[in-house]
């Protein structure tokens, strides 16, 4: 586990021994706790965008008669080799394995919404995030909310039918 910490140096320093026991590494992001929270939201937004990109890429390949597994193998062996996100979520998309959920799609929807709201609060429109909010809402409305975040691939493939 990685720990994202924000706060006064003295306060973070006081709990650092506990962080060392709990986590692999502590990442310091700013003097205010909400700064670390913003980084967490940014990470989850990036993760959601990567999963959606894989899902849409697999759906495009599938629409042309190419099995998702072949497409996913290609990108995880070349473009995104060594990426645990692409290997893990890509494998789930290729296998159409969306449960049990390691991280529910509905929770991803919440995090993307919070990221977009955090951007707007600072005058930053997050175009991918806003578009992904719409996609996630449609997937949840279709009943995929309790499935793993990888079900974005299922949703992308369903759009062509």
Report residue 37 as tokens.
């929270």
Helices (runs of H) and strands (runs of E) counted in the chain: 7, 2
DSSP 66-93: --HHHHHHHHHHTTTTT-HHHHHHHHHH
- Residue 40 annotated to the active site: yes
Q: Under DSSP, is residue 24 helix (H, G, I), strand (E, B) or coil?
A: coil
Q: What is the DSSP-derived secondary structure letter of residue 144?
A: -
Is residue 28 within 8 A of residue 5, CB to CB? The reply is: yes
C-beta separation of 155 from 138 below 8 A? yes
Residue 149 is given by DSSP the state T
Task: Collect all residues with Cβ–Cβ distance below 8 Å to 96 and sequence separation of at least 6.
Answer: 68, 153, 154
Instruction: Tell me which of 25, 40, 104, 110 is the catalytic residue.
Output: 40
- Catalytic sites, residue numbers: 40
């Amino acid at each position: 586990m990685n720990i994202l910490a924000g706060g006064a140096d003295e306060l973070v320093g006081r709990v650092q021994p506990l962080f060392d026991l709990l986590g692999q590494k502590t990442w310091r992001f700013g003097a205010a706790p909400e700064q670390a929270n913003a980084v967490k939201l940014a990470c989850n937004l990036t993760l959601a965008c990567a999963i959606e990109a894989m899902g849409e890429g697999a759906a495009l390949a599938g629409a042309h008669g190419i099995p998702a597994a072949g497409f996913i193998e290609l990108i995880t062996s070349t473009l995104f080799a060594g990426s645990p996100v692409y290997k893990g979520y890509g494998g789930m998309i290729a296998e159409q394995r969306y449960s049990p959920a390691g991280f529910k799609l509905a929770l991803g929807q919440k995090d993307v919404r919070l990221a977009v709201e955090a951007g707007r609060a600072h005058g930053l429109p997050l175009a991918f995030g806003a578009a992904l909010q719409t996609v996630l809402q449609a997937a949840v409305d279709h009943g995929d909310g309790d499935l793993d975040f990888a079900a974005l691939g299922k949703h992308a493939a369903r759009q062509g039918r």
